[in-house]
A and B are shown apart, each in its own frame.
Chain A
Amino acid sequence: MIISIASGKGGTGKTTVAVNLALALEGAIPIHFLDCDVEEPNAHLFLHPEIEHSEKVNLPVPVVDESKCDGCGKCAEVCAFNAILAFKSQTIVLPELCHGCGGCTLLCPRGAITESPKEIGEVETGRAGKIKFSHGRLKIGSALAPPLVNAVRRTADGRGPDGGLVIVDAPPGTSCPVVASIKGSDYCVLVTEPTPFGLNDLMLAVDLVRELDIPCGVVINRAGLGDDTVSSFCSGEGIPVLLEIPYDRKYAECYARGGRLVEDFPKLRDALCGLWRKIAESSGADRDGMVRRREMAEI
């Protein structure tokens, strides 16, 4: 089963929820944690994984063999990303604009284009206690996050550990890197805060998960700090509010220093186990008898 944690707005507590959910369930269920926020990966700061394997991720970008190129300009014509400039005497590739679609290589009538790998980032995999951990780190200056997100997702090959759980920590926003992160999830938890910013961005995130046809529920973080428009929106839309984490400066301080809420505040451990039970019930995980018995016994 794959649960993704997303938000629309940044800084609402995605990583907090994802990390502490993983820690609350550690030992009871096999967990593979995927930090898919490859632009700004943060989960490692809380989980401190031991990295066992690291791999560079490349995008195939075109290389033009000048001796074969006759300057026909077909490559520039087919490139939808303006990554090739063709002049009669020279063909110039702009690798930072290339999406790696392979069109130019495939369609060059002279066979003058081959592809060479361009590094866009790396994926690291390891363990944090009993939690399997993977994250990606986009190379600074590289613009294309989705291929790297896909590489992180592939480390959990399909559904993840047998009878267990893949927890995806998604990046903020609603565009392609988020789609790559949450696509194919069985459930999406949308973390928000009770402010007009939180509400606005939650509405966008709800549009996105509906577009992708993923069932979702909401966690309201810093409850009590703003207003109640988020709750009203959720009840109006029939979206379950799975958990409210009250605003407490002690929680903020724990987060600030890289602490683990479930270890410092037992109440929050119970709350996150409760979150998991609600997700498992509503997403039908109990139907396959997957985790429910063990979860009841152990959590």
Chain B
Amino acid sequence: MKELLVISGKGGTGKTSVVASFAALADSKVLADCDVDAADLHLLLSPEELESHEFIASRLATLDEEKCIGCGRCSEACRFGAIAMADGYPVIDPISCEGCTVCSHICPEGAITMVDAISGHWFVSDTRFGPMVHAKLKAAEENSGKLVSQVRRKAREIAERQGLECIITDGPPGVGCPVISSISGVDLALIVTEPTVAGVHDMERVLDLTRHFDVNAAVCINKCDLDEGNTERIEDYCCAEEIEVVGKIPFDEEMVKAVVRGEPPVARVSGGHGYVEGFGSGHEAGSADSRKCSDGKAAQAIRRLWDRVQDRLWQDADSGE
């Protein structure tokens, strides 16, 4: 079983559209959305929710006012600025509370206890392209990294149980906590970038990250015709760093139209019947997709990209351990 992670550094480069296309093209897979802050993959795959779970990863400090003597030691000890003293008594700001528990240990009166906090939810769903695991972190929450780990754990479990060949993961933007949680142990990190100064800059940082964690990486340039100079810069950089550019997708308004329709920009056509492989029972929406989905320049480029990514996923693994 192989794990493919699609990331970008910079947001909005087209990760989710690429992942949704792979969802339509790949044979035997489970889909995972690890952008738990602002998950979007469900908007293109219309999942039918099978399971919903509360995600409890942190605890919040709560004050028993009866016991509190107003000594202020909690406020002094808190390094997250979550406890202010007002009129001689502590006031806890739940948004700033990191759940570190220091205040509860330091309080001489035992007036602070930690209570479980629901940080979000995670879901197992069925889509016409296969099973999907996704999540929703509550606004202003921490622990996105732990929620990512939960989504990945469940996706792996499903893949193993159903004997699926790969996990295709839509990753978060950036290079911090949720990305680090997403990247560990994947077989290939596909970096979707764009030929803008910001796209180039952020791709370089995310490639530093894959190198740091010793993860196999490949690059795809989306909207490659927007700025030929920057596209060349990306290719030169990748060439020097021995990173393969596995695909170039030209700008195509059809990509935006597909998002507006809520469909992957590419659909898989098999056997000339215009039928898209469905998952489970009762999913026939695939045939509608293949009629609507364009076979425009972007869609064709994504098909070629997927062919090359498959080669890399299985060939890299064979040449590895």
Q: Report which A residues bind B (CB closer than 8 A).
A: 8-12, 15, 37-40, 42, 45-46, 78, 80-81, 99-103, 106-107, 138, 140-145, 171-179, 183, 195-197, 200-201, 204, 207-208, 211-212, 225-227, 252-253, 255-258
CB distance from B174 to the nearest CB of A (A): 4
Bound complex: CA A212 to CA B194 (Å): 33
List the A side residues contacting B212 at CB < 8 Å: 140-141
Q: Are B102 and A106 in contact (CB under 8 A)?
A: yes
List the B side residues contacting A37 at CB < 8 Å: 174
Residue in A closest to B15 when the chains form the complex, CB atoms: A10
Secondary structure of the A contact surface, majority rule: loop
The 10 closest A-B pairs by CB, nearest first: A10-B11, A11-B12, A101-B100, A39-B174, A173-B37, A258-B197, A256-B227, A208-B139, A143-B177, A256-B196
Q: Which of B12, B38, B174, B195 contacts A256 (CB 8 A)?
A: B195
| Chain A binder among B141-149, B277-285, B313-321 | B141-149
Given A174-B38, A175-B144, CB of A40 within 8 Å of CB of B12: no
List the B side residues contacting A144 at CB < 8 Å: 176-177
Q: Are A171 and B105 in contact (CB under 8 A)?
A: no
CB distance from B13 to the nearest CB of A (A): 6
- A10-B38, A11-B10 provided; 14 other pairs, C-beta below 8 A? A10-B8, A15-B198, A39-B175, A107-B106, A141-B212, A143-B176, A143-B177, A174-B37, A175-B37, A183-B95, A196-B262, A204-B37, A256-B196, A257-B229
Q: Are A197 and B100 in contact (CB under 8 A)?
A: no
Residue in A closest to B210 when the chains form the complex, CB atoms: A140
Q: Are A40 and B137 in contact (CB under 8 A)?
A: no
| Chain A binder among B156-164, B201-209, B301-309 | B201-209
Could you pull out 10 A-B pairs where Cβ atoms are within 8 angstroms? A8-B37, A11-B173, A40-B9, A102-B79, A172-B174, A178-B37, A200-B40, A253-B226, A256-B230, A257-B230
Q: Which of A40, A141, A253 contacts B201 (CB 8 A)?
A: A40
Q: Which of A107, A208, A256, A258 contacts B140 (CB 8 A)?
A: A208
Q: Report which B residues bind A (CB closer than 8 A).
A: 8-13, 16, 37-38, 40, 43, 58-59, 77, 79-80, 95, 98-102, 105-106, 137, 139-142, 144-145, 172-180, 194-199, 201-202, 205, 208-209, 212-213, 226-227, 229-230, 253, 256, 259-260, 262
List the A side residues contacting B260 at CB < 8 Å: 195-196, 226-227
Bound complex: CA A173 to CA B194 (Å): 20
CB distance from A83 to the nearest CB of B (A): 10
List the B side residues contacting A42 at CB < 8 Å: 10, 197-198, 201-202
Bound complex: CA A204 to CA B101 (Å): 28
Q: Which of B8, B40, B105, B175 contacts A9 (CB 8 A)?
A: B40
CB distance from B248 to the nearest CB of A (A): 15
Given A45-B198, A225-B256, CB of A174 within 8 Å of CB of B140: yes
Q: Which of A176, A178, A200, A257 contacts B43 (CB 8 A)?
A: A200
Q: Which of A11, A204, A211, A258 contacts B13 (CB 8 A)?
A: A11
Given A196-B260, A256-B197, CB of A211 within 8 Å of CB of B139: yes
Bound complex: CA A65 to CA B213 (Å): 29
Bound complex: CA A179 to CA B11 (Å): 18
Q: Are A174 and B139 in contact (CB under 8 A)?
A: yes
Q: Are A78 and B201 in contact (CB under 8 A)?
A: no
Q: Are B10 and A9 in contact (CB under 8 A)?
A: no
Given A40-B175, A172-B38, A256-B197, CB of A80 within 8 Å of CB of B105: no
List the B side residues contacting A173 at CB < 8 Å: 37-38, 144, 172-174
List the A side residues contacting B99 at CB < 8 Å: 80
Bound complex: CA A226 to CA B144 (Å): 30
Q: Are A196 and B95 in contact (CB under 8 A)?
A: no
Given A101-B80, A101-B100, A174-B37, CB of A179 within 8 Å of CB of B140: yes
Given A106-B77, A257-B229, CB of A176 within 8 Å of CB of B142: yes
Q: Are A9 and B12 in contact (CB under 8 A)?
A: yes
Given A176-B142, A208-B139, A226-B260, CB of A103 within 8 Å of CB of B101: yes
List the B side residues contacting A80 at CB < 8 Å: 58-59, 99-101
